[in-house]
Amino acid sequence: MGFQFLLVFFFLSLSLHTQLFSNAETVTTVYSSKLIHRFSGEAASYWASKGRNTTPPQLGSLEHMKLLLNSDFKRQRLKLGSLNRLLVPSQGSETFFYGNDMGWLHYTWIDIGTPNISFLVALDAGSDLLWVPCDCIQCAPLSSSYYSMLDKDLGEYNPSRSTTSKSLSCSHQLCELGPNCQSPKESCPYTVNYYSENTSSSGFLFEDQLHLASFGAGANEGLVQAQVIVGCGRKQSGIYLDGSAPDGVMGLGPAKISVPSLLAKSGLVPHSFSLCFNNSYSGRIYFGDQGPSAQRTATFVPFEGKYSGYFVKVEDYCIGSLCLKQTGFQAQVDSGSSFTYLPNEDYETLVAEFDKRVNATRSGIEGFPYCYKARSHGQPNVPSMKFMFAMNQSFVIENPMFHIINYQGVDLYCLGIQPIDGEIGLIGQNFMTGYRMVFDWENLKLGWSHSNCQDISDNKKVHLAPPPNDASVNPLPNEQQRTPSGRAVAPAVAGRAPAEPSAASPLLILYQYCTISLLLLQLTFWLHYSF
């Protein structure tokens, strides 16, 4: 009958009829329940028994129809509000890039705690945890005098000074190291090891407020405080001590502990976000963004049998008009990787063909063997490049080169692709330039569309300092995804469960029965308190 008549259901009885045919291994399960209209006499009797007297409108009256119509509008507003609302950090959606001075990564300002403290965090889609320097034992310098491009000191988190901070106990479901604790009441420790050699962050986990701004069609604009998990990063190592992420990292992966996951769990926005990096090194981040309808998409694929990160299948790659037929490989889409990495065999095939087609003098440097001297008018002629995903979806690389100014008296353009051991590649932020990249975990889709990163405006820009006019000399690759044995793996297992087996077992039937019973019970409570 649809929402036109809006039935409200109270599940007074539940019957489970199951027929098992062991020989044919066929299972038929039927669930039934009694439905009661909220304006019926039976519903009025139920409310009276609970001490709540109600006078329902006369069925078919104008009052009755107006109530139904208002309920329709209410539900539509709730539904459209969550779909159209976007969230950005309270200081604005803008991201910043400082070249090699700060690890070739993109950053944004966020506010945490009460009173709020500002942090300039690196954006990393290859890991999951949000951590910031806190009660430091071993941290990078936080003074602006250490970073020539900053005009204010970086923040340090102190949970004891935030009135909204709460220590996460070892018994909490999101405490990965809980089994190692001596007592379940202890504070939950964390350690995140990153792909870059000897790079890690460790400390303790807390719950606190992340300050966000809400905007979008059909949404109430204003400030939003969201409960998130924050790592109190007491000790950092590796490149994080050299200034690559002095003020912390916002892991944007899909695990349950990440900011996008927690925002979705709170019902604030869909489990999706977008990043946009343009050619002038500025960018945007939006939580809840599922992208334009005309965007191209690729389906996320499981890694080692689990949906644990933003992995896609690269079926082919093309240089100019030549597509190099390969067996294909999986690649993690990772904003925390400055450059793009291909498995060794694929890398050798691609760069050999690329080098044939570049009409310029090759002048490799340490770490980047495929560099070319600039022409009199700038960049040499570079062949087009694209990746081919499933369903013939092409991902065109806007510019695979980066510019090194005045290297030993010569301007160079270098190919931003590196080899990597193993079978897993990385699509880094250099290949995302010029695109609005949508990480839609709710629909297990990667989306991309051409963008100048100004097509969604929140009018809440913060200009700390202008980005550099070009890349710094001596670029250093910097990957932030967590990995054992050189393979890209998310810090925590998350995502969707494997597909159900084709034939159900009695144990599975019992599991389904319990699950559906709980869902029905939850729906009953929701209906009870909503009306």
CA 399, 404, 406, 407 torsion-angle sign: negative
**Tokens encoding 225:** 């405080």
For 424-477, the DSSP string reads EEEE-HHHHTTEEEEEETTTTEEEEEE--S-SS--S----SSPPPSSPPSS---
**Which member of 111, 124, 128, 458 is catalytic?**
124
Pairing of strands 311-314, 329-333: antiparallel
CB within 8 Å of 6: residues ≥ 6 apart: 38, 68, 71, 72
> Which helix (DSSP H) or strand (DSSP E) does residue 421 occupy?
none
**Tokens encoding 446:** 């990667």
- Angle (CA) 147 151 157, round 5°: 80
**Minimal CA–CA distance to 154: which of 77, 102, 228?**
102
Q: In angstroms, what CA-CA distances link 144 with 103, 133, 152, 247, 469?
A: 16, 15, 5, 11, 20
**Which member of 334, 346, 440, 458 is catalytic?**
334
Q: How far apart are alpha carbons 124 and 260 in whole angstroms?
A: 12
Q: How far apart are alpha carbons 54 and 8 in whole angstroms?
A: 15
Q: How far apart are alpha carbons 141 and 391 in whole angstroms?
A: 48
Annotation says 440 is catalytic? no
Q: Is 174 helix (H, G, I), strand (E, B) or coil?
A: coil
Q: How far apart are alpha carbons 508 and 494 in whole angstroms?
A: 22
Q: In angstroms, what CA-CA distances link 107 with 24, 49, 469?
A: 58, 58, 17
Q: How far apart are alpha carbons 428 and 433 in whole angstroms?
A: 9
- Angle (CA) 258 263 269, round 5°: 135
Q: How far apart are alpha carbons 264 and 227 in whole angstroms?
A: 11
Annotation says 334 is catalytic? yes
Active site residues: 124, 334
